[in-house]
Structure 1
Amino acid sequence: MEVRPHDLVWVNDPQAIVIESELPEWLNQIDYHQLPMVVRREQLPRQFVPVGIRGRQRAERLAVKIKLRNIIQVVTPESLINHVAIGQLPSHFRDSLQALRDYLSGWQWGITGSCGYQIASGIVSLSTKSDLDLLIRCPIYTDYKQLVAINQFAQHQPCRIDIQIQTPYGGFVLNEWIREQRVLLRTATGPILTHNPWCIGKEY
């Protein structure tokens, strides 16, 4: 089974969740073993998957690992863009996603963050301050002007949109790259500051 950062996963056994730190109080207030967990970036042995557990509040997050063999369901960001639950979102999220579906036709993209979690789980996670978090997969170098155009289109939508670009080496925030011409690339072994997130250690 293949899982990637930002995928949502469910497990079939509470014992599949390996928690190596002290349990926060909020974790005892939720049935965390029944909830989807968000795959994150960390280098682990192949039998484990690094994930994050979400609580009810924005500050309630816990990094743990789970046993790969116990994963029973995987939901990808891409699978959420036409999900029926989008119809239950606030109107400014619905309208933004409709516009993005048309504009990003041909791109490999999906919904992450609180919006993706709510769509996949049915648990209300969005607040009035929530952004619409998107992931665009760019396995090969993508022209800077194309990404600028996407970012400009996103800025004219009804809700605030935060776009992360996924390269073969990791992920970076699109706004940061446009603003600074270099980015903090988030990889499985830690962040790397680079001018070229498609070719680590080399310039364009």
Structure 2
Amino acid sequence: MIRAHDIVLLDKTALKNVELPEWVEETDQLFATVRRGMPIEADSVLVGLRGRERQQRFGFETTLNKVEEVIHPWELVTRNSFREAEVTEYSVYQQYREAQLLLKNHHWGVGGSLGFELATQRATIKPSSDLDLLLYANSAAELPMEIIKENLAFFEKLDTQIISQKGGFALKEFLSQPSKKILLKTNEGPKLTTEIW
């Protein structure tokens, strides 16, 4: 199953009829990140390309038969950057190392620029990059709450999302108001709801 935050390797013919922005660079392999949303065609998926700058993002829809490989965020958590010596002092990479220790017995993943670098072996993170941490849980009981509470300052400074079968929501919001309506990101759009699991 393909879902938001997955990274996909696409057949380059996926771009055949797509009008691309000028910043999109020709590469040997075409990697894209899966986006939330409802594709127009049933056998399609929404994806996004990323450029060198943070604001360089381009979304489009492609058919599933153009997907050659799917890399899930949880498959990245034991990988090292291909340029580890260069990025080892970056705060995003140090936070990643800490998360590896804290969450080694739990279901988690890496999204954002670091996830893209770990998946594609392309230089994506910068000294200013943030760690996008994903915690997978289908009930509150599946969350590593003891670890989160013991390391609250660590988790609260990150962009930590909880991914359930219904969508994604912010850990910070869940911690501050677990029984109230929370902004849930779904394929149908954002919803304020208590039905997050």
Whether contact under 8 Å (2:102, 2:147) holds in the other structure is no
Q: For residue 132 of structure 2, what is the aligned residue in structure 1?
A: 133
Mapped contact 2:2–2:70 kept (Cα < 8 A): yes
Matched, 1:105 2:104: yes
Deviation at 1:39, TM superposition (A): 0.6
What is the rounded CA distance, in whole Å, between the counterparts of 1:81 and 1:98 in structure 2?
9
Matched, 1:46 2:51: no
Q: Unaligned stretches of 5+ in structure 2?
A: none
Residues in 1 aligned to 2:133 and 2:153: alpha-carbon distance in whole angstroms: 13
Kindly state the Cα deviation for residue 73 of structure 1 after the two structures are TM-superposed: 1.3
Q: Deviations over 1:1-35 (max 9, x none)?
A: x212111001123245664xx643323xx126833
Distance 1:87 1:53, change over 3 A: closer
How many angstroms apart in 2 are the aligned matches of 1:144 and 1:72?
A: 32
Asked if 2 retains the 8 angstrom alpha-carbon contact of 1:54 and 1:60, the reply is yes
Q: What are the equivalent positions in structure 2 for 1:149-164 lying under 5 Å apart? A: 149-150=147-148, 153=151, 155-156=153-154, 160-164=157-161
Pick the aligned partner of 2:166 from 164, 169, 173.
169
Alignment RMSD, CA only? 2.8
CA shift in 2, pair 1:156/1:18, >3 Å: same
Task: Report the CA distance between 1:143 and its aligned residue.
Answer: 4.6
Matched letter for residue 34 of structure 1? Q
Identity of aligned residues (%): 29
1: CA distance between counterparts of 2:143 and 2:173?
15
CA contact (8 A) 1:165 1:173 kept: yes
Select between 30-39 and 45-54 the one with higher mean Cα deviation. Answer: 30-39
- Work out the CA distance in 2 between the residues paired with 1:74 and 1:83: 16
In the alignment, does 2:70 pair up with 1:71? no
Q: Aligned partner of 2:175: which letter?
A: I
- Give TM-score, length-normalised by structure 1: 0.80
The alpha-carbon distance between structure 1 residues 11 and 144, as it changes in their structure 2 partners (threshold 3 A), is closer
Q: Distance in 1 between matches of 2:83 and 2:136?
A: 25
Q: Does the 8 Å CA contact 2:135/2:143 hold for their aligned counterparts? A: no
Matched, 1:55 2:54: no
Contiguous gaps of at least 5 residues in structure 1: 199-204
Question: Which letter does structure 1 place at the counterpart of 2:174?
Answer: W
Q: Deviations over 1:88-130 (max 9, x none)?
A: 1333444433332232233211111011111112222212221
Q: How far did 1:144 drift?
A: 10
2:92–2:129 contact (8 Å) kept in structure 1: no
Aligned residue pairs: how many? 191
Q: Read off the aligned partner of 1:178 and give its amino acid letter.
A: L
